[in-house]
Structure 1
């Protein structure tokens, strides 16, 4: 995946608080992760764990800065540097999303009347009236990530809904692109129309309505993504934008280092290092939730004598 050069907006406290400096002297939290592959249990199902990949890159750059700084570069504090990350040579490979088949969560349908009108026949014979109307509603499709990673630039993943979701989705598009690890809601306009002939009996009144049923459906999904390639980090002096230092490294090795040095949040077992046909990847595959609303059209007729 080709990506733009991204600039990291650093936390003003980065590098100053003890929490950020623990990795300098090897201090480690007992509850943090360890090893190349994460074999411990996931965090509790109610926890939301999204790893900020840009923050990991910043920590790695800070670590490299401390290791390689000279007397000349030491005159500049890390907090005074801008970080530019070039992702162009990093690929994010994604498999199709897998949706759980069992026990989707459905809430009680809600009925909404979009349009209502009355036809009155005061004559002694049947009358026909034209019932024609068009109304527009908005349909929401929400993505809720509970485990995964986020990235500031070019972190989109694509979803292709299975047929059973598309069929009941009230016109929902079959494919969506969303930012990885970021909760989002997509909205689409749907036009509902009715064009029919209403027969009204003598001396009676008929109510014609355009009604939709709205149903909220939740389905769990998982999507496997794999990162590979080499990124480059450029450090510039924030005061005059002058070049100071450049680092380049394999993204897999950076993530491995993050796991070894406990730069990841405690119990955030989302990455594992794998090798496929001689190529190393940092892989993540975690369950998340996807929510959308189903809308079905109903034309209702009620006759009053």
Structure 2
């Protein structure tokens, strides 16, 4: 299981702020009829601009063993035997054999988050692995789209085949072995995400749980949207421990005309780790030795 995770659900923050706005603007009679538990929120996020930026992506040192939510990972690379076959020639003439077969291995990437934001409990973060890690996506694009907070795993099956010719001299033994290179790593990462409303308003609908119908509409302009993520002591709805999960920044954009425009955005940090196991390259190792050597070794062990 993952360690404790710090998660801020943006849908829930907007719901609390919009409900406070709805309740405050309602008259005395309407307030008597408003029961928060009778409604669920539907936020239209299409008007919100989301920008992801990887700030840190670092591999932990190799030749060490790490405890991860996916088990122990021995970081580094090593040749792993997929299968072997013995050929013994007890005749007086050379023998020829085919060493053939097929095996499958699993390339996988596991992602575990420690700090993140969600929208309606979905993460929706994309981690772009560096180009040298394309092998961990089995030749596909380097993007890993994460939708879960805890222990999400992406798997690809790789098939290895061998069909080699093996000659064995009279009185000799040959051992053929198919090996593949396993590479394992653990990586830490941080992704910063900026959210802002460039123009217009964000509609928030409150639907009745009883019949799923829209009952109330609250619209938040860009300033309202930012205010929702302030401490409740200054007009927002965040508790003290939630405030540390979000930063409010002033940004400036220079238009093509040379004009400057300022806007306020929210910034969130998604931090976690990724365990990766990949398989690349294969080789066939054929070892030969006289049968009498084997007989001598066996007689010494009796």
TM-score by structure 2 length? 0.72
The answer for the alignment partner of 1:233 in structure 2 is 204
Flag structure 2 segments of 5+ consecutive residues without an equivalent: 66-73, 254-261, 292-302
Residues 51, 264 of structure 1: 8 Å contact kept: no
- Cα distance in 2 between the residues matched to 1:154 and 1:143: 14
Deviation at 1:105? 7.5
Query: Which of 3, 8, 19 is equivalent to 1:51?
Result: 8
Residues 104, 219 of structure 1: 8 Å contact kept: no
The answer for the alignment partner of 1:90 in structure 2 is 48
Residues 198 and 239 (structure 1), Cα distance of their counterparts in 2 relative to 1, 3 Å cut: same
Deviation at 1:175? 2.2
Flag structure 1 segments of 5+ consecutive residues without an equivalent: 1-45
Pair member with larger Rg: 2
By percentage of residues, which structure has more strand?
2
Deviation at 1:89? 1.2
Residues 220, 289 of structure 1: 8 Å contact kept: yes
- Cα distance in 2 between the residues matched to 1:105 and 1:156: 33
Residues 176 and 223 (structure 1), Cα distance of their counterparts in 2 relative to 1, 3 Å cut: same
The answer for the alignment partner of 2:68 in structure 1 is none
- Cα distance in 1 between the residues matched to 2:241 and 2:12: 15
- Cα distance in 1 between the residues matched to 2:123 and 2:223: 16
- Cα distance in 2 between the residues matched to 1:100 and 1:60: 38
Residues 205 and 81 (structure 1), Cα distance of their counterparts in 2 relative to 1, 3 Å cut: same
Residues 18, 218 of structure 2: 8 Å contact kept: yes
The answer for the alignment partner of 1:139 in structure 2 is 107
- Cα distance in 2 between the residues matched to 1:87 and 1:48: 24
Residues 216 and 268 (structure 1), Cα distance of their counterparts in 2 relative to 1, 3 Å cut: farther
The answer for the alignment partner of 1:68 in structure 2 is 25
Q: Does 1:150 align with 2:126?
A: no
Residues 232, 248 of structure 1: 8 Å contact kept: yes
Residues 231, 239 of structure 2: 8 Å contact kept: no
TM-score by structure 1 length? 0.72
> Higher RCO, 1 or 2 (CA under 8 Å, sep at least 6)?
1
Deviation at 1:214? 4.0
Residues 118, 124 of structure 2: 8 Å contact kept: no
The answer for the alignment partner of 1:117 in structure 2 is 85
Residues 96 and 128 (structure 1), Cα distance of their counterparts in 2 relative to 1, 3 Å cut: farther
Deviation at 1:227? 1.0
Aligned-CA RMSD value: 3.1
